[in-house]
Amino acid sequence: MRLEDRTVVITGAASGIGRATAERCAEEGARVVVTDIDSDGGEAVADAIEADGGEAVFYDLDVTDADQFHAVVEEVAESYGLDVLVNNAGTGHPGASLENVDDSIRDFVIDVNVKGVWNGCHAALPRMKEQGHGSIVNVGSLASILGLPKQAAYSMTKGAVLNLTRAVAAEAGPYGVRANTVCPGFTDTQLLEQYLAQRDDPEKAREEMAEEYPLKRLADPEEIANAILFLASEEASFVSGHGLVVDGGFSTC
Ligand code: NAI
């Protein structure tokens, strides 16, 4: 059991990568704090984990609300402790050239993808530094290391996540706190469905997308969750400030 007696807080855990991460962490013995703006979905994830013999609770948490993030982290830390924070919640935007992206869409994506991660680090770091240990795993994207066409706002925010994480690793390392980023390639989740739904033929677009990957397929959420689990656990005890690309080799060829 790689996370026995550990408490793991995961944002955006009602669905996709967050959900898979919650399930994997519970399988490895963690007490999982499932958080999301989707209360029904989040509660269902926590209930399913408990039904499987794991330990999970659900908290409503909108990552853009700094006060709420601080309150949830404080309550969790007092009740269960706080060992790992996975800042996973994220959002996309309709594909469009930069000059056609409304400021409101740009700001929304920044609020969720950048300020949401910032809020999580801001809430968790004082406690983690004080206790002398902690692991933060932020979910970036291939768009953290590549600039994707018609995804300028998303790429901007995911690049920021990677470098914010490096700064956190540098600052908090002396206190025994690690911070890392996981950068997934396209992964089968509802976010990807929304992205594909903008195409004339979503199924054909999915096949073409998969064909561009050396492994000729997209990732399953569990494959990203396994990378997050590794970075969260003591197996990665000397890994900090790292951006772990999990893209089936896409970005290397
Ligand atoms: P998803 O749509 O399946 O799950 C995202 C979850 O975040 C949902 O449960 C949603 O309710 C929640 N959420 C959205 N806004 C929130 C907010 N303000 N506060 C709290 N929760 C909120 O998407 P997926 O794919 O699992 O995405 C998870 C992360 O992975 C995101 O950061 C995304 O950018 C990243 N990612 C996804 C890729 C993909 O191809 N699916 C590729 C690269 C990165």
Tell me the pTM: 0.98
108-142 residue pLDDT tens: 999 999 999 999 999 999 999 999 999 999 999 99
The mean pLDDT value for 136-162 works out to 98
Catalytic residue flag (residue 154): yes
pLDDT of the residue at 121: 99
Q: Which of 62, 93, 191, 223 for mutating ligand 1's site (highest number of atoms within 8 Å of CB)? A: 191
| Cα 110 to ligand 1 centre (Å) | 14
Q: Which of 9, 15, 68 for mutating ligand 1's site (highest number of atoms within 8 Å of CB)? A: 15
- Asked if residue 68 lies in contact with residue 9, where contact means CB atoms within 8 angstroms, the answer is no
- Residues 250 and 246: their CA atoms lie apart, in Å, by 9
55-77 residue pLDDT tens: 999 999 999 999 999 999 999 99
| Cα 191 to ligand 1 centre (Å) | 6
- Residues 140 and 90: their CA atoms lie apart, in Å, by 9
CA of 55: how far to CAs of 51, 87, 95, in Å?
Answer: 9, 20, 39
pLDDT of the residue at 100: 98
Active site residue: 154, 175, 195, 213, which one? 154
Domains and CATH numbers, the chain: 7-184+220-240 (3.40.50.720), 188-218 (no CATH)
Orientation angle between helical segments 103-110 and 152-172, nearest 10 degrees: 30
- Residues 72 and 55: their CA atoms lie apart, in Å, by 17
Going by the DSSP 8-state scheme, the letter that residue 126 receives in this structure is: H
- Asked if residue 77 lies in contact with residue 111, where contact means CB atoms within 8 angstroms, the answer is no
The percentage of residues in the chain with a pLDDT greater than 70, rounded to a whole number, is 100
Q: Which residues pair with 57 in a beta bridge?
A: 33
Q: Tell me, rounded to whole angstroms, the distance of Cα 110 from its chain centroid.
A: 15
208-236 residue pLDDT tens: 999 999 999 999 999 999 999 999 999 99
- Is the CB of 63 inside a 6 Å radius of any atom of ligand 1? yes
Going by the DSSP 8-state scheme, the letter that residue 229 receives in this structure is: H
- Residues 164 and 14: their CA atoms lie apart, in Å, by 25
